[in-house]
Structure formats: structure tokens, C-alpha cells
Amino acid sequence: MITAKENHTQALQKVNSGRKTRLKNNVIGWSFVIIAAVMIFLFYFYPMVQALILSFQTGVGANLTFTGIDNYTRLFKDPTFLTTVKNTVIYLIIQVPVMILLALFLSVLLNNKTLKFKGFFRTAIFLPCVTSLVAYSVIFKYLFGQDGIINMMLMKISLISEPIQWLTDPFWAKIAIIIAITWRWTGYNMIFYLSALQNVDESIYEAARIDGASPIQQFFKITIPMLKPIILFTSITSTIGTLQLFDEVMNITKGGPGNATMTISQYIYNLSFKYTPDFGYAATVSYAIVIMIVIFSIIQFKAAGDNNE
């Protein structure tokens, strides 16, 4: 009995001291996390909540009053907003798949064991991502200008007889923007695929080759399934990036001609800073982007993620 009791107290002490060290560890752990957590709360979640509240208000500048869901119903009647959504979706459904395929293709090429000057090619393709958004946009504006080098080249090789109005025609302006963002972001996505490819076991390909699989079969039957999580990740980040597209359009076409290239983000900017400031409605448009991102991400998860879980 006595020994049992002693055992019991000893065990209790052990548990107690264990609890203490665990608590101590917890406190140390939390103190590391807490600063970041507080910062994120203060500068991320608090403004988000404030923006949500703001989106139910309307008025000019500082004179805001609550109007309920008026701003949200206005969204659906606002032709400019609907045009910007249409433009953004066009960029999205054309540019993102083109870019992802291109990035995949390039990364498989660059992963080739026999390729010479690998480092040079990788750097060259990744380099656009290092350039500033504004700087490259300005350069693209000049490349695509009426007398720009692109028109000159096309005319010199007699593909076209008169200059394409890259920046002042509604159709070509969209194409110019899509080319610009593809140039800027393909290398960025390629790096993800490249690193994922290096984690794919070479023996899988070896086995496939022994079984007589052609390179194309290897690509579709091995590479793509192995990269599926990364493809999902890059397509979601690209989707979010495209929905928030701003710098390129602002600098290359300013949204023109008319509003043929204007994006949702640029409309938010215009509502807040170009026109008489209506921060309430601008916040509503921002939340429209949030909702769209959530919807698109869910769709992509559902489309690609079914056998990952």
C-alpha cells in the first residue's frame, strides 16, 4: 500500500513537472508566435474587417454614411465594373493556361540531363521576374508603340503592311497585355516545376522507358500526374495574381482605349484616386475580387485535387 502510495505521489510529481516544462515550452513557443500574430492581426485582419464595414458605406471622401447593401446591388448595374470583370476574366482564361503550359514545357526542357549551359538558360528565363513591374511595363509600352520595334520587325519581314495599333485598338491592346504578363511570369512558375521535377525519382522514368513509353507518354503519364499539386498551386497563385492585375495595365495602356483593357484593380484605383473619391464603393469592388478569388480557388481545387486527399 505504502509503496503504491509513494509510487502514486512520485508519478504525480513527474506529471506535475512535466506539465510545468510543457507550459514553459508553450510560453516560449507562443512568445515567438505572438509578435507575428499580433502584427498580422493588426495590419491584416483589422483592416480587412474595416474594409468590410467600409463597403457598406457610401459618400464622397470623408463624408461617409451607411447605405446597407446598396453598394453591392450597384455592382451588378455598373457597366464599367462588369466590363472590368469581363476583361479580367478574358486575361485569366487565356493567359493562365498559356503560361502554365509554357512553364511546364520549358521546365521539362531545362530538366533534361544532357542539356548544356543549363544555368544560363534557367537564369535567362527566370530573369524577367526580377525586373520591376513598372520598369518592364514601360519598356513593353515602347516595344508595342505605333513606331515600336515589334511593328518595325513585323513590317520588315513583310508579315503586315501597316503598323498594328497595339495600344490603341481594343483587341490588340488586350493581346499586348497578355504577352507582357506571360513574359513576366512564365519564368516564375517554371522555377516551381523545375524544383518539383528534380524531386521526381529518375527510376520511374527509367522503368517507363524500359516498358517502351515515348517521351510524350512519359510527359502526360508521369510528369503531369507527379506535378499535379504544384500545377494546382501555381494555377491558384496565377489566378489570384491575374485577378489583382494592376501595374501592367496602368502603365501600358492606362486601361484604354475606352476601358477595353481596364482591370478590376485599376477600377478600384480610379474610384479612390482618379475620380472624386468614393472609398465605400471602392471597398465593395475589392470584396468582389475576394469573393471571385474564393470561387475560382474552390473550382480549381475541385477540378484538380480530387485524388490528392
**Residue 277 C-beta: closest distance to other proteins, Å:** 5
Radius of gyration of the chain (CA): 27
Closest contact distance (angstroms) between CB of 31 and other proteins is 6
- Rounded distance, CA 31 to CA 98, Å? 45
Nearer to other proteins, 141 or 184 (CB): 141
Does residue 46 interact with other proteins by CB under 8 A? no
By CB under 8 A, residue 79 contacts other proteins: yes
Cα(163)–Cα(146) distance, rounded to whole angstroms? 6
Nearest approach, Cβ of 278 to other proteins (angstroms)?
9
**Cα 246–249–252 angle (5° rounding)?**
140
Instruction: Give the integer Cα–Cα distance in Å for 184 and 247.
Output: 12
Site string for other proteins, 214-253 (x = CB under 8 A): ---------------------------------------x
Q: How far is the CB of 145 from other proteins (least distance, A)?
A: 7
One residue of 258, 290, 303, 305 binding other proteins per CB under 8 A: 258
Question: Does 165 help bind other proteins (rule: CB under 8 A)?
Answer: yes
- Min CB(118)–other proteins separation in Å: 39
Cell of 94: 487565356
- Taking the least distance from each CB to other proteins, the nearer of 192 and 246 is 246
Query: Does the footprint of other proteins cover residue 132 (CB under 8 A)?
Result: no
With CB under 8 A as the contact rule, which of the stretches 32-40, 115-123, 191-199, 233-241 interacts with other proteins? 32-40
Selection from 256, 278, 254 nearest residue 268 by Cα:
278
Q: Which residues bind other proteins (CB under 8 A)?
A: 27, 30-31, 34-35, 38, 42, 58, 60-63, 74, 77-80, 83, 141, 145-146, 165, 167-168, 170, 253-260, 270, 272-277, 279
